[in-house]
Amino acid sequence: MSPRILVSNDDGIEAEGIAALARAMATLGDVVVVAPAHNHSGAGHSLTLGRPLRVASVAPGWFAVEGTPTDCVNLGFFKLFDRLPDLVVSGINAGLNIGDDVTYSGTVAAALEATLLGRPAIAVSMDRSGAMSWAAAEDIARRIAARVLEKGLPPDTLLNVNVPAGEPRGIRLTRQGRRDVTPVSPVAGPPGPVEGVEFWISDLSPEWREDPLSDRTAIIEGFISVTPLHPDLTHHASWKRLLQDPPWKE
């Protein structure tokens, strides 16, 4: 039986990137697609509660969901198909998902949800600062997916893959970068709560901490970045320290 590969994204079912990803995955197994009906960039790991999820079949094995990427993965696992996926691949996102930005990313969240549900997962994003060509992202997605289908991943681990603009110089295993803390507000608009005034949240601080092993450094230097992530948000070093000196201790 061919492996079942569930493809999703946060750019929406009509995005060019998801068509490219489905095309790449079709060389490896039985591809099914469940994606938001509309763009949900920045949705993070949000789950729709308190209202029904409408689903539309847009092509054989392709479903559009009036919900978030996390919703899509749950429906793809438990309601729309006859068996669970062997692998979930999310993307190809039009824009990088590196550093702190992974916490906002619906692309990464779809892969995270699959990891929480016990299946290996990959998130794939691409720099859109230059001319968009999906070939490099398709190629690395196919190569990594084939390897994961064969070898698996460590428990509770997903791979966050980011592809630079232009021809990649190679591939690096990286860690998540961090932005520098900045007092500059990303919110555009007049100060104070003004009725009827529109506010816009722009890109976050462009300043990053220097880290030669980070995903951002790899992208800047023209390399594909592959970062293993996991859903455990516990800070284990702090846990040990606070165990010795609890914050509620008088």
What is the pTM assigned to this prediction? 0.92
SS3 35: strand
Show the tokens assigned to 58.
Answer: 């847009």
Q: For residue 46, give the DSSP letter.
A: -
Cα gap 112→39, rounded to integer Å: 18
Neighbours of 138 (CB within 10 A): 22
Sequence-distant (≥ 6) Cβ neighbours of residue 122 within 8 angstroms: 87, 88, 89, 90, 91, 111, 141, 144, 145, 148, 158, 159, 161
SS3 171: strand
Give the chain's domains with CATH numbers: 4-177+212-244 (3.40.1210.10)
- In tens digits, the chain (250 residues) has pLDDT values of 899 999 999 999 999 999 999 999 999 999 999 999 999 998 999 999 999 999 999 999 999 999 999 999 999 999 999 999 999 999 999 999 999 999 999 999 999 999 999 999 999 999 988 777 899 999 999 999 999 999 999 999 999 999 999 999 999 999 999 988 765 555 555 556 666 666 666 666 667 899 999 999 999 999 999 999 999 999 999 999 999 999 998 7
